[in-house]
Amino acid sequence: KIVPVIMAGGKGTRLWPLSRAAAPKQFIQFIGDKTLFQETLARVSDPALYEAPVVLTNEEFRFLVAEQARELDHALKAILLEPVARNTAPAVAAAAALIADLFGKDVIMHVLGSDYEIVADQSYFDSVRAARETAASGKLVTFGINPTEPATGYGYIEGGEDLSAGAQTVKRFIEKPPLDKAKEMVAAGGFYWNSGMFMFQVGALLAEMRNYAPDVVAAAGEAVAKATRDLDFTRLDPQSFAKAPSISIDYAIMEKTANAAVVPSPFKWSDLGSWDSVWKTGTRDPNGNVATANTTLVNSRNSLVMSHGVHLAVQGMEDVAVIASEDAVYVGKLKDSQSVGDLVKTLAALP
Ligand code: GDD
Ligand code: MG
């Protein structure tokens, strides 16, 4: 069986004000009746395919994780708590060390982000099985999404030779390219977006991490060896974990390894990284608007209007995002969605 590893420690500042420091986007309900973290849990709930998941998160989100899992009655193998945020490479390395202890080095882990929407139909589980088969041969496996635009917020994967199970070797992995490079790759064809999910045999991942990120594995391994347990929580040793550099798995390993594979994946995938992607993913009315129930739109088009609090009335607007939480409102052009994170930095600087 596969051990799911759910990464749920990001900050999600571009989705302010619904995504907040105290409860970032993975713990928020955007579309549908579950939070993104709960949707991710639901995707790994088949006991024929999966063990109970290991959840990676920051110390401060531990109760959100425990409570949201309990709401679904979803048992967790462990909640691994990072004392400081060090991005995804140290977190995944710590999960690998823990899983090697619990299940041995041959077990396969499925690493999942918790900030995108996936339609988990038959084709999704076909891709998962193909990835498992490919990972069992020691490859570090990615899921390749067909790019629809030259987005700069994703990793790009160039497919190489055919392997079995429909997978391909990876010629190059380019994390978050500049726009001109992204345009070239989309125009050239043969490139996929990295979905943000990975399938690894634990031993193969640790070996590759020792090659390309020895300081990351050393710090994470020590943090697991000295971890303390209390209830469902496994607390990584703070002094050891703090020695890890802050780097994502994409930059630390996937860009460097010569041992990666990609499973071209036809399932429906949308990143929910910014308000324009929420608008693209949502169900649009005939005027092109995506709106929650407690809103009124007049003479407005192609806009995203969401409220988790007050009633919002919007008149004569186009291509805008109007987002209200219980205590803050954001109004901006959808095309400026990528820079909401900078706005949040300005807000944080206020006295
Ligand atoms: N536990 C933990 N600790 N989780 C983290 C941390 C951390 O320090 N930092 C981020 N995460 C979680 C986020 O909550 C999210 O679910 C996932 O890890 C990915 O992190 P992001 O920060 O959202 O990465 P990204 O969106 O910029 O890029 C990644 O995802 C893209 C697809 O959505 C990369 O893998 C790209 O290559 C990929 O295309
Ligand atoms: Mg993301």
Residue 18: helix, strand or coil by DSSP? coil
Residue, of 65 and 309, whose pLDDT is higher? 65
CA atoms within 13 A on the CB side of 117: 20
3-23 average pLDDT score: 91
Rounded Cα distance between 309 and 223, Å, is 41
Output the pLDDT for position 281.
Answer: 86
6, two tokens: 């759910």
Task: For the chain, give the percent of residues with pLDDT over 70.
Answer: 99
Residue indicated by tokens 């994390």? 175
* Ligand 1 atom nearest 153 alpha carbon: 27
pLDDT digits (tens, 9 = 90+) for 21-37: 888 999 988 767 899 99
Pocket test for ligand 1, best of 5, 6, 7 (most atoms within 8 A of CB): 7
The yes-or-no verdict on residue 351 having pLDDT over 70 is: no
ipTM here: 0.99
3-31 average pLDDT score: 90
Rounded Cα distance between 3 and 200, Å, is 10
98 CA to middle of ligand 1, Å?
20
300 CA to middle of ligand 1, Å?
34
The yes-or-no verdict on residue 185 having pLDDT over 70 is: yes
Output the pLDDT for position 32.
Answer: 74
148-156 average pLDDT score: 92
Rounded Cα distance between 108 and 3, Å, is 6
Q: How far from 296 is each of 32, 277, 287, 330, CA to CA, in Å?
A: 20, 22, 13, 16
The yes-or-no verdict on residue 56 having pLDDT over 90 is: yes
203-231 average pLDDT score: 97
Pocket test for ligand 1, best of 84, 154, 172 (most atoms within 8 A of CB): 154
257 CA to middle of ligand 2, Å?
22
The yes-or-no verdict on residue 150 having pLDDT over 90 is: yes
Output the pLDDT for position 44.
Answer: 98
Output the pLDDT for position 309.
Answer: 86
Residue, of 350 and 345, whose pLDDT is higher? 345
* Ligand 1 atom nearest 36 alpha carbon: 16
84-89 average pLDDT score: 96
Q: What are the DSSP E strand ranges found in 176-284?
A: 191-201, 228-230, 233-235, 260-265, 269-271
pLDDT digits (tens, 9 = 90+) for 218-232: 999 999 999 999 888
69 CA to middle of ligand 1, Å?
20
Q: What are the DSSP E strand ranges found in the chain?
A: 3-7, 54-58, 78-82, 108-112, 116-118, 140-145, 155-162, 168-175, 191-201, 228-230, 233-235, 260-265, 269-271, 290-291, 295-298, 304-307, 312-315, 320-324, 329-333
Q: What are the DSSP E strand ranges found in 186-319?
A: 191-201, 228-230, 233-235, 260-265, 269-271, 290-291, 295-298, 304-307, 312-315
The answer to whether 3 and 44 are in contact (CB under 8 A) is no
pLDDT digits (tens, 9 = 90+) for 281-318: 888 999 999 999 899 999 999 999 999 889 999 999 99
Q: Cis peptide before 90, with omega less than 30 degrees from 0?
A: no
76-105 average pLDDT score: 97
The finding on whether 85 has its CB within 6 A of some atom of ligand 1 is yes
**Mean of the per-residue pLDDT values of the chain:** 95
The yes-or-no verdict on residue 350 having pLDDT over 80 is: no
The finding on whether 60 has its CB within 6 A of some atom of ligand 1 is no
Residue indicated by tokens 């970032």? 24
To the question of pTM greater than 0.90 for the whole model, the response is: yes
Rounded Cα distance between 110 and 199, Å, is 5
| 75: enclosing H helix or E strand | none
Confidence of residue 273 (pLDDT cuts 50, 70, 90): confident
